[in-house]
A and B are shown apart, each in its own frame.
Chain A
């Protein structure tokens, strides 16, 4: 791949998904876009690059963008965040939302659904405490294709063995052939919707808890700052923000602070709270 093709494609990806690719990742572009070239019957990578440059076919640009994103996810990813959810976040919400009895949770880059379904199972496990409550889980992703997979809730044997405790597999899944489908009662607890984190999220409403995990890591610092700003805008004053294990707000946003004594959970900075309530 020549330098101009690399720069043209890198620019396209950055604009469309926020993905920041440095030159040493050029090999990644070729290895991931070669299947796209085949799918679209281009003779090779150069012909694909030409078509991208022409920019006439929106479906092609979507395919290119989605082929470059990483969709890896698993149930109970890192475990600890979900322990914290049970031990800290849920008790806080049960106390502080007792009047409204509603909790809104956003899984902001949900990929194939393991993250929102993990939350749905946890809520189901807490059903007795939540009787009479309305808990909404909104799960969004850039990729419509991955959202379609998420909605189906069908997982391979490999996927259900990464992080998912066996008792929950037995309780909430049905075996269909060599795959496992999460039950309709769990699926209907999650509202899937296409959403690009680079765009304005205000139509999604306000949230008490936001999971934005393992996606900021692909963005450059200014984009991280911008997205964190948007998350701060729609998080409830006493809400919780979850980032991935390798992500931080440090140096990226002064609107959040790490929850004391915890890893991976952030809360709004108090001056922000003052602004929000004032």
Chain B
């Protein structure tokens, strides 16, 4: 089963995303900030990461830069999922190595469409 790490400081968002992604046959792990997400990746590298931007302790973009700097790991597919919906943020995310970008609010259709595009489905 494919694994997806959901990183978001909102419990509600994690729950909604978990429901959708479990429906798409992903095994889910959760983290509530960028640091916990790094820890989770070190423990067990997921196939995909659904990533919020603004979080306490460590932001999504800081997490992503750190993740992409890790050598000798199978790099996961990273899909941002954030309320930041301007071109500057999107460009910054792509430059940092994001594969796709979802602007909140999202629904199952958008998640499915984006995960299909990056070859996860």
The chain A residues found within 8 Å of chain B, CB to CB, are 76, 79, 157-158, 161-163, 165-167, 169-170, 174-175
Q: Is the CB of A157 within 8 A of B94?
A: no
Which stretch in B16-24, B27-35, B67-75, B84-92 binds the other chain? B84-92
- The chain B residue sitting closest to A175, CB to CB, is B87
Sort chain B's interface into a size bin: 10 to 19
Q: Is the CB of B103 within 8 A of A157?
A: yes
Q: How far is the CA of A162 from the CA of B102 in the complex (A)?
A: 10
Interchain nearest-CB distance for B34 vs A (Å): 20
- B74-111 near A? 1/0 per residue, CB < 8 Å: 00000000000111001100100010111100100110
Q: How far is the CA of A79 from the CA of B121 in the complex (A)?
A: 12
Q: Is the CB of A161 within 8 A of B110?
A: yes
Q: How far is the CA of A161 from the CA of B79 in the complex (A)?
A: 13
Which stretch in B2-10, B40-48, B112-120 binds the other chain? B112-120
Partner of B94, one of A79, A166, A174: A166
Q: Is the CB of A161 within 8 A of B103?
A: yes
Partner of A166, one of B100, B106, B109: B100
Q: Is the CB of B90 within 8 A of A166?
A: yes
Interchain nearest-CB distance for A98 vs B (Å): 32
- How many inter-chain residue pairs (CB < 8 Å) link A and B? 33
The chain B residues found within 8 Å of chain A, CB to CB, are 85-87, 90-91, 94, 98, 100-103, 106, 109-110, 113-114, 116-117
Partner of A161, one of B86, B87, B114: B114
Q: Is the CB of B113 within 8 A of A162?
A: yes
Besides A157-B103, A161-B110, A169-B90, 13 new A-B residue pairs in contact (Cβ under 8 A), listed by A number? A79-B116, A79-B117, A161-B102, A161-B113, A162-B109, A162-B113, A163-B117, A165-B100, A166-B90, A170-B90, A170-B91, A174-B87, A175-B86
**A and B contact pairs by CB, cutoff 8 A, 22 listed:** A76-B117, A79-B116, A158-B110, A161-B103, A161-B106, A161-B110, A161-B113, A161-B114, A162-B109, A162-B113, A163-B113, A163-B117, A165-B117, A166-B94, A166-B98, A166-B100, A167-B94, A170-B87, A170-B91, A170-B94, A175-B86, A175-B87
> B86, B100, B109, B113: which has the most chain A beta carbons within 10 Å?
B113
Q: How far is the CA of A163 from the CA of B112 in the complex (A)?
A: 10
Interchain nearest-CB distance for B98 vs A (Å): 8
Contacts of A157 in B (CB 8 A): 85, 103
